Amino acid sequence: MKNILPTFEYELEILRGGEIVIAGVDEVGRGALAGPIVAAAVVFENYQKLRPKLRGIRDSKTLTAKQREEFDKIIKSFATDFAFGQAMPYEIDKHGIGAANILAFKRALDGLTNCDFALIDGRRFRGFEYGYRCLIKGDSKSISIAAASIIAKVFRDSLMAKLHKEFEIYNFAKNFGYGTKYH
């Protein structure tokens, strides 16, 4: 079975209602044993023109580290805006994983210069002052969400690699805070 790549179908459907700024939002680190949840929000414009330039972008979990690094540069060069939000481990402990996830999403969206509508990977979300739509497995359906998953992963992996220098015993440079057979 051939993998179907994400498209701008959802973004174009929303734009039929008028010219608005749409952000794709996704997070990484939700299943990690250490480190923050990192969310990213990405805004693209001129979807039809960008489609060939963003070919191959898909869920960050299906890409190698090298591919993510390459796409990270491409995404940032063509995005009109992007931002990151984090929920720190103490916030995860205090509020729970679901609430911390939403907190990271909100922080990423708040970091954007302008956003009228958000396409969010996941089942549910609350607290965004504008319109939004949740898409289960959104990173496999929307290029904007897939792009957010990629830049969030590259950003978080970089954070964990820096933490490795301080806490070498945990081997964050290789496991990025996720459980492994070594644990």
- Which residues are annotated as part of the binding site for a divalent metal cation? 26-27, 121
Q: Which residue in 59, 100, 107, 103 sits closest to 83, CA to CA?
A: 107
Task: Give the Cα separation of 98 and 83 in Å (integer).
Answer: 20
- Binding residues, by number, are 26-27, 121
CA 22-25-28 angle, 5° bins: 165
Q: Give the chain's largest Cα–Cα span.
A: 53
Structure tokens at 182: 């070594």
CA 27-30-33 angle, 5° bins: 140
Helices 65-78, 143-166: axis angle to 10 degrees equals: 120
